[in-house]
């Protein structure tokens, strides 16, 4: 196209042919605008030209093409969009590709399922993640196959997560079989998925993970057992109340309360009333705030709520005992708690 295209007029007249020609104009602004308008019009005849535009030299034009192909929702665009992601390091492209593939998948799950067998593992990860999010029940068998057989641990882990999101009990046994996966990331996703599915068949393997060497595995296993809610897990969860990891102790406490068994309730409530549980909670608050330059208001409020509770229970002396333990556990961080607790009763450390 030699002459500058009038994109606005093309849009008003729904001139799809003119907009397609404008995709070849030398001005990047016009190309990007034309690609955007074609998506708004939803014209399927523009799919192939927009796919070609995914290789445009200008990133803004490529962004517009991805967004428009997602709006149109034609299955032909799924693989080219996925490939476009692997061919760029642009920071915004993953978000745009995900949104576009979600739109396509909601219209046609098969388009995403076809990507599950692609030779590039980066491409296989996309449907493994998205199929669960969009509730594609037709994908269960394909996701189970990926969980069992895919050589890439990220694909296996994302497949496990999607199976949990889909909520079909058919996935319980394959997930249980994958709880011994060689990769720790996959195991964590499997444990979490089993908790979401809430099937009692997972109790024994999850109880076994309460003794795992990995803190994350033990904590997630405790949480999953709480979600399942079967009393057969109570004894193991009571034992986990004394775990060396504070995250595991808190997860076990919450799980016992969720199950509601009398023995478990007594043990959990006894720990909640104890100083040790309070110390765990405060240490977690300190850990959560490490990445932030300024503490979040909700964190300060929670810390002060704990401080008020301690002050009401035992005044200055109890607060001092708790602070002494936290000082030992978090020698470089306890000052923040000291600041948060200022003006609570007669507190001074």
What confidence tens digit (pLDDT) does each residue in 209-252 have? 999 999 999 999 999 999 999 999 999 999 999 999 888 998 99
Please list, in sequence order, all residues whose beta carbon lies within 8 angstroms of the beta carbon of residue 22, skipping any fewer than 6 positions away.
1, 5, 7, 10, 30, 31, 33, 34
pTM: 0.81
For residue 108, give the nearest of 47, 19, 173 by alpha carbon.
47
Q: CA gyration radius for the chain?
A: 27
Tell me if 310 sits within 8 A of 319, measured CB to CB: yes
Position 318 confidence tier, pLDDT thresholds 50, 70, 90: confident
| For range 240-267, the mean pLDDT | 91
| Residue 214 structure tokens | 């990995």
Tell the residue number behind the tokens 């998948």, with chain if given: 105
- Measured in degrees and rounded to the nearest 5, phi and psi for residue 242 equal -110, 15
For the residues 165-173, what does the mean pLDDT come to? 97
Token code pair at residue 78: 């799924």
pLDDT of res. 347? 65
Q: Whose CA is closest to 233, among 257, 212, 269? A: 257
CB atoms within 10 A of CB 255: 29
Cα gap 333→116, rounded to integer Å: 46
348 is written with which tokens? 């001074």
* Mean pLDDT of the region 165-186: 97
- Smallest CA-to-CA distance from 242 within 256, 260, 261, 228 is with 256
| Residues 324, 6: Cα–Cα separation, whole Å | 73
Average pLDDT over residues 75-89: 95
Token couple for 164: 């949990």
Of 29-33, 281-285, 292-296, 325-329, least confident by mean pLDDT is: 292-296
Scored b (16 or more CB within 10 A) or e, 121-138 reads: eebbbbbbbbbbebebee
Residues of the chain above pLDDT 70, percent: 98
Q: Compute the mean pLDDT over every residue in the chain, rounded to the nearest whole number.
A: 93
Rounded to 10 deg, the angle between the 215-228 and 246-259 helix axes is 10
Terminal alpha carbon distance of the chain: 76
pLDDT tens digits, 3-26: 799 999 999 999 999 999 999 999
Q: How far is residue 207 CA from its own chain's centroid?
A: 24
CA distance 270 to 39: 60
| The pLDDT of residue 309 | 84
* DSSP secondary structure letters along 210-239: GG-S-HHHHHHHHHHHHHHT-GGGHHHHHH
Phi, psi of 244 (to 5 degrees): -70, -20
Q: What's the CA angle centered on 234, arms 329 and 175, to 5 degrees? A: 90
């Amino acid at each position: 196209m030699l002459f500058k295209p009038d994109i606005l007029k093309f849009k008003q007249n729904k001139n799809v042919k003119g907009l397609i020609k404008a995709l070849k104009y030398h001005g990047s602004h016009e190309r990007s605008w034309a690609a955007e308008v074609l998506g708004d019009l939803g014209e399927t005849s523009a799919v192939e030209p927009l796919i070609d535009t995914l290789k445009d030299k200008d990133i803004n034009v490529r962004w517009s093409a991805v967004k428009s192909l997602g709006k149109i929702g034609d299955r032909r665009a799924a693989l080219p969009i996925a490939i476009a992601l692997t061919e760029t390091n642009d920071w915004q492209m993953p978000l745009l590709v995900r949104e576009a593939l979600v739109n396509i998948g909601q219209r046609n799950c098969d388009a995403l399922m076809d990507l599950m067998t692609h030779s590039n593992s980066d491409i296989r990860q996309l449907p493994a993640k998205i199929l669960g999010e969009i509730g594609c029940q037709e994908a269960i068998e394909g996701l189970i196959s990926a969980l069992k057989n895919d050589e890439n641990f990220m694909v296996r882990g994302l497949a496990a997560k999607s199976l949990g999101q889909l909520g079909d009990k058919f996935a319980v046994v394959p997930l249980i079989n994958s709880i011994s996966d060689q990769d720790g990331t996959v195991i964590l996703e499997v444990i979490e998925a089993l908790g979401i599915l809430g099937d009692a068949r997972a109790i024994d393997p999850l109880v076994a993970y309460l003794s795992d060497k990995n803190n994350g595995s033990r904590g997630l296993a405790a949480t999953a057992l709480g979600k399942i809610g079967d009393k057969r897990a109570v004894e193991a969860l009571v034992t986990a109340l004394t775990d060396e990891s504070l995250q595991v102790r808190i997860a076990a406490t919450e799980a016992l309360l969720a199950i509601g068994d009398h023995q478990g309730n007594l043990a959990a409530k006894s720990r909640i009333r104890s100083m040790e549980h309070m110390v765990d909670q405060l240490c977690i608050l300190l850990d959560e705030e490490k990445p932030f330059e300024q503490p979040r208001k909700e964190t300060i409020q929670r810390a002060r709520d704990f401080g008020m509770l301690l002050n009401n229970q035992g005044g200055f002396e109890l607060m001092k005992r708790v602070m002494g333990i936290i000082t030992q556990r978090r020698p470089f961080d306890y000052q923040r708690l000291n600041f948060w607790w200022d003006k609570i009763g007669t507190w001074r450390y």
